[in-house]
């Protein structure tokens, strides 16, 4: 039988300037466009559609298009290239396509799958999904086939995929679990590098090592800010290429004096005034999180409805990372037309987190309202608390926000802070996430990658030794690392799960408590957005529906009740609607559960349950939860407030909790610090379980003097006397 011979190719078929010029001119020329109408799409073998040609015309107007030749020459000559492009220059959608145009993607002999791909990482899931869909449309291919995306718990790619958009965390996970040298990729593009997420910084350190071992691999680092000089220095003087944006002038207005309530100032004053008094154009408002955004959308809708015909119609669209994908796509829908011809203009009003700063480009925005705040992750290693704090943004972020107003025409940016505050109080750049995060998950990832010398790992901005030591300590308490800092068998299994270490530990040991089925369901529900729907026109009915799922012992078991009810009702969307449960979120949870179950099966970890009618059914589930979350415990003091263990932080139960009483001891999933400190997703546990399940952590000599310590002393004495009685009886 004759074997098909395969031609060996270099990364780029284009190897000299003339060849590059010829390739580009063929695309850029009118003849090239005419030929495209009659040619076959090389990726799927189908004729190009008219839609493809219409989009191609728009692509040709993007600033980055005019530097295609320069980009390909630079990348052909260098292994690493730094590219700085203003938001809206087209770099995220076009650069990966330029690379595809210039490289030969080999196929297997049967032509059914691609041997190599191009990867483009994004810091946010929303961007990975929406950009991949746009690029699939531009390439005239089907999403999930030639162009795909990969985010946590969702892989929309196939053996045909040549271009994959994925979160930086997912590329890290690929390196950690299946492909340490990332050999399935020819070119890796790290986009939005200026955001300096934790995963991006770890990926940079890893890429330096991979590039040394793979001279055939190319890396493109793309940034929207001039901090790219720092990237250039980090990558040993890699060449820097700049792409201009397509910005119109933006007029900036500052507040005359500090604003006390930025939410009221943003919504009930600024946005409403713009809608009532300014010319046509959509509005983008930056707020800090889901609750704030939903509250603002409700208030704004009422305000505009009350104004009647005095203002034009408005489509109010929220945007935050946990919003279901179908809702996220609404930001790209057009504004409504005026109610009457010649009447006040209709507008789209997008109320967003900082996700709209650089990750997504929304055409039609003319007015930006910037209160100057964002939620930032902040970690205090001394008390081991990671919190989301509302903090002032950086000057770089303020610049990005104002630039959103000048995409399609001259715009206006209303900054709800004084110019003096901007100049004197705002830091130049956002603090890298690696310097303000709990690094337990990062350390576990590096250990799995075989990197033991954490102090000398090539971080762009090395974290403090104290933060690294705290991460090692947490992993040691969880049993993921031994006393010498080596990865244990338990730690190796934990690292396979795309979960935080506490949740991974809870899941891995759940079979020891005969409840792995239930912990699997709880873990899945905790890994997706809030499943409860609370529409503004039916809030009371929604609250009553949620209460029907409530469990006396807390929120985790309430989530388990929801999942069980969803499955018992055969995943019926109508049942979800009737019970104010988000059907898409539940479907996602079901998908997550299946993926986590596959990891358990890979390690032969049994799926088991205690008999539902047994008095131990909920006891075992709560014990398994404590086995993972024993470091996240709070005690009710006589003052009526809760104190977190070890660090004595005063906290309150979040108003969304399902408890109808205040338990003496609770475990919690999240510590949210805003104007007050809240613990969210809580479950009641007996104090004696701390002594039984985590005595290594609750060493009385290390606890601060408080009511909780005295209570634990009594529990330890009780346990000791109980053991002595048992011995004497024998």
Percent of the chain topping pLDDT 70? 92
Q: What angle do CA 300, 400, 262 make, to 5 degrees?
A: 35
The CA distance from 694 to 626, in Å, is: 9
Whether residue 352 has pLDDT greater than 60: yes
**Sheet (strand 250-254) strand order:** 250-254, 411-415, 365-370, 282-286, 347-352, 314-319
pLDDT band at 324 (very low <50, low <70, confident <90, very high): confident
Residue 548, C-beta contacts closer than 8 angstroms, at least 6 positions apart? 579
484-543 tens-digit pLDDT: 999 999 999 999 999 999 999 999 999 999 999 999 999 999 999 899 998 878 989 999
Q: Would you state the torsion angle of the CA atoms of residues 98, 76, 108, 134, taken in this order, to the nearest 10 degrees?
A: -20
User: Domains, the chain, ranges and CATH?
Assistant: 17-243 (3.40.50.300), 250-434 (3.40.50.300), 497-623 (1.20.120.1080), 631-729 (no CATH)
For residue 33, pLDDT over 60 is answered with no
Instruction: Average the pLDDT over 362-375 and give the result.
Output: 94
Least confident of 75-89, 132-146, 551-565: 75-89
Return all residues near 631 (Cβ < 8 A) that are at least 6 apart: 384, 474, 477, 502, 645, 646, 697
Are the C-beta atoms of 331 and 355 separated by less than 8 Å? no
User: Do 254 and 418 meet the contact criterion of CB atoms below 8 Å apart?
Assistant: yes
Average pLDDT over residues 319-330: 81
Q: What is the mean pLDDT of residues 407-414?
A: 91
pLDDT at 38: 55
- Is the per-residue pLDDT at 544 higher than 50? yes
Cα separation, 528 vs 562, in Å, equals 13
* 260 or 463: which leads in pLDDT: 463
Q: Residue 25: is its pLDDT beyond 50? A: no
Both structure tokens of 411: 């715009």
Work out the burial of residue 300: count CB atoms within 10 Å of its CB; fewer than 13 is exposed, 13-18 middle, 19 or more buried: buried
Using CA atoms, how far apart are residues 91 and 288, in angstroms rounded to an integer?
Answer: 27
């Amino acid at each position: 039988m004759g074997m098909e011979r395969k031609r060996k190719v270099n990364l780029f078929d284009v190897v000299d300037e003339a060849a590059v010029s010829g390739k580009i001119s063929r695309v850029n020329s009118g003849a090239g466009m005419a030929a495209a109408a009659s040619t076959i799409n090389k990726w799927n073998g189908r004729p190009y559609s008219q839609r493809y040609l219409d989009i191609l015309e728009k692509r040709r107007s993007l600033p980055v298009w005019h530097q295609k030749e320069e980009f390909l020459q630079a990348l052909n000559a260098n292994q690493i290239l730094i590219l700085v492009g203003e938001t809206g220059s087209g770099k995220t959608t076009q650069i990966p396509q330029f690379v595809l145009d210039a490289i030969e993607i080999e196929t297997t002999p049967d032509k059914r799958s691609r041997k190599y791909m191009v990867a483009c990482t994004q810091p946010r899931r929303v961007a990975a999904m929406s950009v991949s869909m746009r690029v699939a449309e531009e390439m005239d291919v089907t999403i999930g086939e030639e162009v795909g995306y990969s985010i946590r718990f969702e892989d929309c790619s196939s053996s045909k995929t040549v271009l994959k958009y994925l979160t930086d965390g997912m590329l890290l996970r690929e390196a950690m679990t299946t492909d340490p040298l990332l050999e399935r990729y020819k070119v890796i593009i790290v986009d939005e590098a200026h955001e300096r997420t934790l995963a991006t910084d770890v990926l940079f350190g890893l890429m330096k090592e991979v590039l040394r071992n793979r001279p055939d691999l190319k890396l493109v680092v793309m940034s929207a800010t001039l901090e790219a000089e720092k990237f250039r220095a980090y990558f040993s003087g890699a060449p820097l290429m700049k792409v201009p944006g397509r910005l119109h002038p933006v007029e900036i207005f500052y507040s005359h004096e500090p604003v006390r309530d930025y939410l009221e100032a943003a919504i009930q004053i600024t946005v409403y005034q713009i809608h009532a008094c300014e010319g046509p154009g959509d509005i983008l408002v930056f707020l800090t999180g889901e609750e704030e955004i939903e509250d603002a959308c409700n208030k704004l809708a009422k305000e505009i409805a009350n104004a009647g015909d005095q203002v034009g119609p408005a489509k109010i669209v929220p945007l935050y990372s946990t919003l279901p994908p179908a809702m996220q796509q609404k930001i790209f829908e057009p504004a409504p037309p005026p109610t009457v011809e010649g009447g006040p203009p209709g507008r789209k009003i997008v109320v967003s987190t900082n996700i709209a700063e650089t990750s997504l480009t929304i055409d039609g925005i003319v007015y930006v309202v910037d209160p100057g705040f964002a939620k930032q992750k902040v970690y205090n290693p001394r008390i081991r608390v990671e919190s989301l704090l509302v903090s002032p943004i950086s000057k770089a972020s303020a610049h990005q926000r104002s630039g959103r107003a000048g995409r399609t025409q001259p715009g206006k940016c209303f900054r709800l802070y004084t110019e003096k505050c901007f100049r004197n109080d705002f830091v130049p750049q956002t603090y890298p996430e690696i310097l303000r995060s709990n690094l337990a998950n990062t350390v576990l990832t590096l250990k799995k990658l075989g990197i033991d010398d954490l102090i000398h790992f090539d971080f762009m901005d090395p974290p403090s030794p104290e933060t690294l030591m705290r991460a090692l300590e947490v992993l040691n308490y969880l049993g993921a690392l031994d006393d010498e800092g080596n990865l244990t068998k338990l730690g190796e299994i934990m690292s396979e799960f795309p979960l935080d270490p506490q949740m991974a530990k809870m899941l891995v040991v759940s079979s020891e408590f005969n409840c792995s089925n239930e912990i699997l369901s709880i873990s899945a529900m905790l890994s997706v957005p809030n499943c409860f729907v609370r529409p503004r026109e039916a809030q009371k009915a929604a609250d009553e529906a949620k209460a029907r799922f409530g469990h006396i012992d807390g929120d985790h078991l309430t989530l388990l009740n929801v999942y069980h009810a969803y499955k018992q009702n055969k995943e019926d969307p109508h049942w979800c609607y009737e019970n104010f449960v988000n059907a898409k979120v539940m479907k996602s949870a079901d998908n997550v559960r299946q993926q986590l179950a596959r990891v358990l099966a890979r390690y032969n970890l049994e799926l088991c349950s205690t008999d539902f009618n047994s008095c131990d059914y909920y006891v075992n589930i709560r014990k398994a939860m404590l086995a993972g979350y024993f470091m996240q415990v709070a005690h009710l003091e006589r003052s009526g407030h809760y104190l977190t263990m070890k660090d004595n932080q005063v906290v309150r139960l979040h108003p969304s909790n399902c408890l109808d009483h205040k338990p003496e001891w609770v475990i919690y999933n999240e510590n949210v610090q805003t104007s007050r400190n809240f613990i969210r997703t809580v479950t009641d546990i007996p104090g004696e379980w701390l002594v039984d399940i985590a005595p290594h952590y609750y060493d009385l000599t290390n606890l601060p003097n408080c009511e909780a310590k005295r209570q634990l002393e009594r529990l330890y004495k009780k346990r000791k006397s109980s053991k002595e009685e048992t011995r004497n009886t024998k």
